[in-house]
Amino acid sequence: MHTLTFADSSVTFALTDRPTAEDFEPLPYGLSLDDAVAVRAHEVKAGDLVVAQFSDGTGVRPTEHAPTPFPADPHTVSDCPCEGCEECDNVDGWTMTNPDRVADVGWRFVCLHPSEPGDDEYEDEPCVIALRNRPVVVIPVSVVADARQAAEEAKPPVRMYGVTWSDDFEASSPEEAARLAYEQLKSYATDGWPPVLEVTGEGNQMTVVDLNAGNGVQG
């Protein structure tokens, strides 16, 4: 549990731990909820990582964690590039019941992220529209940038390696031997028995990798 407040207010919000269920992606770049702050929806900046919102109302406000944390792209509803989604339809329905509300949309709501098309397995993701003063939990863009840079620097350096596989074949010509070798290589993909490979790295240091072995390295 984390306790958050607005920078200009003593009102506190109880941020629950991020769910570990399969539907909730972990925070990227080694970030944690210790890096999070509470802001009003209209104070969210471009690039802030939105990780949760608090429900509207007063008193104890339950945490609504975002299944997939997303970088904010805040804009007015009228400037949203969305061509129609469930959330935008809800706003349209709200104005249709009372045309006088049309003028209220600009100051009452903010879109934190436009809708995104889904793939064959998932439906389209609707816009993230929130009331202007709704409490939102974000990790500031500067913190995200620092964490991303640290994660990139921590990656093992990429080097060039030469990989060699060899075997002996009885054949009547180099072309036939090449075809036999090619057929054998293709068989590794179907019979589950990969070859032993010689990997040469920088400084001509050679490592024999047996992909059938437990750790893969022979020496």
Residue type, 10: S
Residue entry with tokens 């010509």: 173
> CA separation (Å) from 19 to 3, 32, 48, 61, 200?
17, 12, 20, 17, 44
Residue 31, number of CB atoms within 10 A of its CB: 20
pLDDT at 29 over 60: yes
Average of per-residue pLDDT across 12-37: 92
User: How much of the chain is in helix, strand and coil states, percent to nearest 5?
Assistant: 30, 25, 40
Residue-wise pLDDT for 170-181, tens only, equals 999 989 999 998
Radius of gyration of the chain from Cα atoms?
Answer: 27
The predicted-structure confidence for 76-130, as pLDDT tens digits, reads as follows 888 888 877 888 788 777 777 777 777 767 778 899 998 877 655 556 788 898 9
Burial of residue 26 (CB within 10 Å: 0-12, 13-18, 19+) is exposed
pLDDT for res 70: 94
Confidence band of 58 (pLDDT split at 50, 70, 90):
low
C-alpha angle 93/96/100, rounded to 5°?
A: 125
Sorted by where each begins, the domain ranges of the chain are 2-154, 162-210
